[in-house]
Amino acid sequence: MKSIVAAGVVITMASIAVPAQAHPTDCGDQRSEITRILADYRGAIERLDATGTEPLFAPDSVIFENGGVEGNYTNYLAHHLGPELGHFRSFRFSDHQLDLWCEGDVAVATETYSYRIERAEGDPIERRGVTTSVLRRVDRDWRIVNMHGSSRGRHST
């Protein structure tokens, strides 16, 4: 019985240790390109104009937001993000932090931030947000293939 428990502990510890070791790199010389793509997307939102952001995303991308499946980026832009930006007077990110790691032709970025939206009508919205993006390198270009964002009240725990 002790050997079964000991084997279970070893297996559990190994499964915990492998993911920690699996965070391979800081993305090396690719970091600046990946960071630029994410910054370009945030910048478009702050400008309230997502024109030209389509090349940041792969055609087969999938966008998830606050529990909803938005489809690919083209659909999200046409039916959600684009119209939504038209209802804002301003959108500002602050306290942005980025955690990024790469393995081969895949990068995973986790961004945490605060944001404030000034709406055309109504009170401002202040929230804390997190977005996880998976990027894939195709040829020499990085593209976002999956983006999942969520938010909560700024003072929620």
Provide the pLDDT for residue 26.
76
pLDDT digits (tens, 9 = 90+) for 49-74: 999 999 999 999 999 999 999 999 99
Instruction: Please return the burial class of 28, using the count of CB atoms within 10 Å of its CB with bins 0-12, 13-18 and 19+.
Output: exposed
End-to-end CA distance of the chain: 42
Say how far apart CA 127 and CA 114 lie, in whole Å.
6
Question: From start to end of the chain, where are the E strands?
Answer: 57-65, 68-71, 88-103, 106-119, 125-138, 141-153
Helix (H) or strand (E) holding 72: none
Say how far apart CA 9 and CA 12 lie, in whole Å.
5
pLDDT digits (tens, 9 = 90+) for 98-153: 999 999 999 999 999 999 999 999 999 999 999 999 999 988 899 999 999 999 99
Its pTM stands at 0.82
Q: Tell me, what amino acid is at 105?
A: D
Total residues found in the chain within this entry: 157
